[in-house]
Structure formats: structure tokens, C-alpha cells
Amino acid sequence: MLYDLDQGPRSALAALAAEHRQRRDLLRRACSRHTRRQRLLRPEDLRHVLVDDAHGLLYCYVPKAACTNWKRVLLALSGRGPADPRAIPAPEAHAPGRLPSLADFGPAEINRRLRAYLAFLFVREPFERLASAYRSQLARGHDVRFAELLAYLLDPRTRRDEPFNEHWERAHALCHPCRLRYDVVGKFETLAEDAAFVLRLAGAPHLRFPAPPPGAAAAARRRAERLFRDVSPFYQRRLFDLYRMDFLLFNYSAPAYVRLPAP
């Protein structure tokens, strides 16, 4: 069910509502323009869509796009954790089974929730998200160079033999935004405003979304720029093509620090 996003005084809330309407419209048009006929989704395709029955929420989580804090918030909302999301340790937020997934239900219950609940996801500029995933998953012990991760992702055998790890899987492949209707498309780049907007729609405006440390966003951009500085334009183009649908569907431009030769 699409909620009335224009409730309340005509103010910053109305401006946010208009922004999110525009994002939904852009997503819908991009889906029509860039996707061909797709197979029907199976329940297991919905394992990234988390369910809060008490508040009527469906949240599709994308790793490295504030998903730890959103899981904390959902645990706090549902009473499965402390009322303050910041008090929930990250391992507890990610523990299997802590939050039900849409994949846990039968077809009739899945469809009922898809029709009635507020559905949202949060995405992030794909190259910065990939750089963040590399740093958190592989670079701590300096075991894997960034170039080695890119070679693995671009090797045709990789996706043929097994699915991508969720940390570098494309957001559209995790959340299926051309098959599922999302009321809110949140962005990591406007996290504070978008999170507050979702919590207001969910009837929990009192809940504060955990704020990142000051300067964290700028530092993440600088790290991504440093990593991609040593990637050749040829491989930048191939990587852009790999994540092309995320750029198109969520209205991201290629970062200014990349050099993309003509395809």
C-alpha cells in the first residue's frame, strides 16, 4: 500500500515527500526502459527483505548502505532489543534469525504483506559501496589487494559458478526493485533525512536513527577515490558495466574520479 506521503504541515516534510515521489517515478521509468521480461520471483529471492509486522514494515537490506543501523532500529522497534538502537551490538543485529525475512512466509502471506506494508530500501553509490565492502571484509589484514577483488568480480566464471557475496552483489539483484514496489528509496548520501522520514511514516518519529561519526561520509569518499586511482580506465569501464543497473535504476552518475572510455 502506498502511504500518503503528504500528511502533515507543508514544510520540510512535504519537500521530502516530493523528493521520494520523484525517486519512485525515476525508478519506475528506468525499470521500464532498461529491464526485459524477468522470471517470477521465488520466496528465496526475498531473503533480504526483513519484516516488522507490528509496524507494517518491509525493509530490504543492502550491505554497506547503513544496513547494520537499520537492523538495530528494527530490533528496537519490534522489542527484540534495547529501546536505544545504539545499545545493540553489531554482531547481534546481524545474527541469523533475529529478524524475520519475507522468505520465511508462504506465498499468500508474502503477497498480503507486499500489498499492505510500507516497503523501503537504502542504496549507495555503487563504487563507494564496493570500496567500503572491500575495506570491511578483505583489507583489514591486507590479505587481498583491491585489484584482486576486481579481477574476481569481473571473471566470467565467478557468477557462473556461484552467486556474489552479498557485500558486492548489486543492490538491484538483492532487492528486485523492478519486481517489488518500494514506497521509499532511501540513499546513503541523504541518510539522516531519509531515515527520519521512514521512521515518521512508520509511526515512530521519536526513535533516533544512529548518526555516523562526524566526517565519516567524506572519509569514505576519499578512501574510494584512493582505491580507484590505481584502477585502469579499461577496468573502470568493465566495473561500471557490471554495476550499470544500480547506477541507472537509482539515478547515480559515475564518480568524478573515474575515467570511463567509450564502450
At 198, which amino acid appears? V
Q: Average pLDDT of the chain?
A: 91
Reported as a pLDDT band with limits 50, 70 and 90, residue 159 is confident
Closest to 127 in 3D by CA, of 249, 11, 5, 225: 225
The average pLDDT across 57-82 equals 95
The average pLDDT across 213-218 equals 90
Asked if pLDDT for residue 121 goes beyond 80, the answer is: yes
In this predicted structure, what is the pLDDT of residue 141? 57
Higher-confidence residue: 224 or 37?
224
Asked if pLDDT for residue 2 goes beyond 70, the answer is: no
CA dist., res. 139 & res. 135, Å (int): 5
In this predicted structure, what is the pLDDT of residue 13? 80
SS3 of the chain: the string is CCCCCCCCCCCHHHHHHHHHHHHHHHHHHHHHHHCCCCCCCCHHHHCCEEEECCCCEEEECCCCCCHHHHHHHHHHHHCCCCCCHHHCCHHHHHCCCCCCEHHHCCHHHHHHHHHHCEEEEEECCHHHHHHHHHHHHCCCCCCCCHHHHHHHHHCHHHHHHCCCCCCCCCHHHHHCCCCCCCCEEEEHHHHHHHHHHHHHHCCCCCCCCCCCCCCHHHHHHHHHHHHHHCCCHHHHHHHHHHCHHHHHHCCCCCCCCCCCCCC
Comparing 19-28, 61-70, 158-167, which segment has the lowest mean pLDDT?
Answer: 158-167
Reported as a pLDDT band with limits 50, 70 and 90, residue 6 is very low
Asked if pLDDT for residue 54 goes beyond 90, the answer is: yes
CA dist., res. 254 & res. 257, Å (int): 8
In this predicted structure, what is the pLDDT of residue 15? 87
In this predicted structure, what is the pLDDT of residue 5? 46
Reported as a pLDDT band with limits 50, 70 and 90, residue 142 is low
- CA 212 vs CA 69, 86, 192, 219: distances in Å: 10, 11, 9, 11
pTM of the model: 0.92
Cell of 184: 521509499
